[in-house]
């Protein structure tokens, strides 16, 4: 008797007891379904966090100027400009772990088109900014160093601003808008970047050369950078090195004595990203272990029912033995029955899990990511559970004595 025939015998035995077979698999179905759904939602959350931080820029450091202190009241970081343009040049040229650096000075201004207008955050910066933030310009081109040097009146708009001032799907490159009543030519539209990790719309922004910003918006370019400096480190590994290098450089340049407080602050965004990712990882692991326990319980459920089934079918086993079934035929039949149950349960569980995840994602607008390897692993694991928990009942069945089995009432 070959394994294929045993398989058919086992399948027939399961089919004869459809309801019981289904109930037996229920534990596995729920277990696998839970694993798939939880992992899909966990992976979705993780990828959302990752995407949010990738949108922010990679290997990113942000330098904030110092705080004012008047009458014992500290103004907070950025309230007093302490970073100079020379500091920026020094950071760009003297720190080997720094790849690029760009200033960012911001002001909320109305952008007035022909018919519509929109108030947004205008950033005065340099061409490096688009590189540092890994933010390409989708239509047209970013402004150049020549624009910065000449203080030309050109603007790169964010997608949200384009939508609000010119309507969706329009290409405003070449047209003019007025900012503070000064006409600016639109030379580019920045690629859509989406939301930040905190839900802020990145695309609600406009960018002009930093010199133009100083002269036309701020009313005169001073020695200090009245805003932040974005720094891109050479790689993810050198980000913290770059932080301490810049810190040392600035302390030196600002003549801060040892032990005294910094008059600036540097934030490492990759660290924040790492912490957030760790958070979602912990969550995913937690969910997965809960689901794994339910899979285990499902396996024990299969063992229980298989044991009951062996007892209930003792006579059948006796008859099969009397008709010539060898112990290994019986062993294999029950093992295959358990295996079929758990694999079928696994597959139904996958369908259920994918369905649940899709439904949850649609219902609560959660991100969802179904990973093929999770599906493979959970089906494989349920098959494993079937073998492990099917083996004991199957052995028990195969070791029955034919006459005892036949006499069993």
Partner 1 sequence: MPQPALIELQDIRKIYTSGEVEVRALDGISLTIESGEFVAIMGPSGSGKSTLMNTLGCLDRPTSGKYILAGRQVSGMDKNELAEVRNQVLGFVFQNFNLLSRTSALENVELPLVYAGVSGKERKRRATEALERVGLGKRLDHTPSQLSGGQQQRVAIARALVSNPKVILADEPTGNLDSRTSIEVMALFQELGRAGITVVLVTHEPDIAEYASRVIVVKDGKILEDARREPVRAVVPPLPATP
Residues that bind partner 1 (CB under 8 A): 1-2, 5, 9, 12, 16, 315-316, 318-329, 402-403, 406
Taking the complex as a whole, how short is the minimal distance between the CB of residue 6 and partner 1, in angstroms? 9
Taking the complex as a whole, how short is the minimal distance between the CB of residue 342 and partner 1, in angstroms? 23
Q: For 92-181, where are the E strands, in sequence order?
A: 98-112, 117-125, 137-140, 154-157, 176-179
Q: Which is nearer to partner 1, 21 or 97 (CB)?
A: 21
- State both tokens at 183: 């006409």
Taking the complex as a whole, how short is the minimal distance between the CB of residue 310 and partner 1, in angstroms? 15
Taking the complex as a whole, how short is the minimal distance between the CB of residue 406 and partner 1, in angstroms? 7
Q: Which is nearer to partner 1, 263 or 316 (CB)?
A: 316
- State both tokens at 212: 């133009």
Q: Which is nearer to partner 1, 9 or 340 (CB)?
A: 9
Q: Which is nearer to partner 1, 170 or 399 (CB)?
A: 399
Taking the complex as a whole, how short is the minimal distance between the CB of residue 17 and partner 1, in angstroms? 8
Q: Which 3 state secondary structure label does DSSP give 153? A: coil
Taking the complex as a whole, how short is the minimal distance between the CB of residue 327 and partner 1, in angstroms? 6
**Residue-wise over 156-177: b if at least 16 C-beta within 10 A, else e?**
bbbbbbbbbbbeeeeebbeeeb
Determine the Cα–Cα distance for residues 344 and 28; give it in Å rounded to an integer.
9
Measure Cα distances from 164 to 260, 292, 355, 370 in Å.
Answer: 48, 49, 37, 35
Q: Which is nearer to partner 1, 4 or 257 (CB)?
A: 4
Q: Which is nearer to partner 1, 220 or 324 (CB)?
A: 324
**Can you spell out the DSSP letters for 327-370?**
HHHHHHHHHHHHHHHHHHHHHHHHHHHHHHHHHHHHHHT-----
Q: What is the CA radius of gyration of the chain?
A: 33
């Amino acid at each position: 008797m070959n394994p294929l025939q045993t398989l058919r015998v086992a399948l027939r035995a399961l089919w004869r007891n459809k309801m019981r077979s289904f109930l037996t698999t229920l534990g596995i179905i729920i277990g696998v379904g839970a694993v798939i759904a939880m992992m899909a939602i966990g992976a979705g959350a993780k990828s959302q966090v990752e995407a949010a931080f990738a949108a922010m820029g990679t290997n990113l450091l942000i330098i904030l100027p110092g705080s004012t202190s008047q009458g014992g009241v500290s103004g907070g970081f950025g309230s007093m400009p302490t970073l100079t343009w020379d500091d920026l040049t020094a950071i760009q040229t003297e720190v080997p772990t720094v790849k690029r650096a760009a200033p960012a000075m911001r002001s909320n201004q109305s952008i007035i088109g022909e018919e519509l207008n929109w108030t947004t955050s205008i950033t005065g910066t340099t061409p490096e900014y688009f590189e540092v933030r890994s933010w390409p310009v989708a239509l047209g081109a970013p402004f150049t160093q020549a624009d910065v040097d000449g203080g030309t009146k050109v603007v790169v708009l964010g997608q949200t601003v384009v939508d609000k001032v010119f309507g969706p799907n329009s290409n405003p490159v070449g047209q003019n808008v007025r900012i503070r009543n000064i006409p600016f030519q639109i030379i580019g539209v920045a690629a859509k970047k989406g939301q930040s990790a905190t839900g802020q719309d990145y695309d609600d922004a406009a960018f002009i050369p930093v010199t133009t910003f100083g002269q036309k918006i701020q009313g005169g370019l001073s020695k200090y950078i009245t805003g932040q400096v974005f720094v891109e480190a050479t790689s993810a590994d050198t980000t913290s090195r770059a932080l301490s290098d810049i810190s040392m450089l600035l302390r030196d340049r600002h003549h801060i004595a040892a032990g005294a407080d910094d008059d600036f602050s540097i934030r490492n965004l990759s660290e924040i990203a790492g912490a957030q990712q760790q958070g979602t990882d912990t969550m995913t692991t937690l969910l997965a272990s809960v689901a794994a326990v339910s899979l285990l319980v499902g396996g024990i459920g299969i063992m229980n029912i298989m044991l009951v089934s062996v007892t209930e079918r003792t006579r059948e086993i006796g008859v099969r033995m009397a008709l010539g079934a060898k112990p290994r035929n019986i062993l294999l039949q029950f093992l295959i029955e358990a295996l079929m149950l758990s694999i079928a349960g696994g597959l139904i569980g996958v369908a259920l899990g994918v369905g649940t995840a899709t439904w949850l994602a649609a219902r609560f607008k959660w991100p969802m990511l179904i990973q093929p390897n999770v599906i493979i692993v959970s089906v494989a694991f349920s098959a494993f559970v079937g073998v492990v928990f099917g083996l004991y009942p199957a052995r028990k069945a195969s070791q029955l004595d034919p006459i005892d089995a036949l006499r069993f009432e």
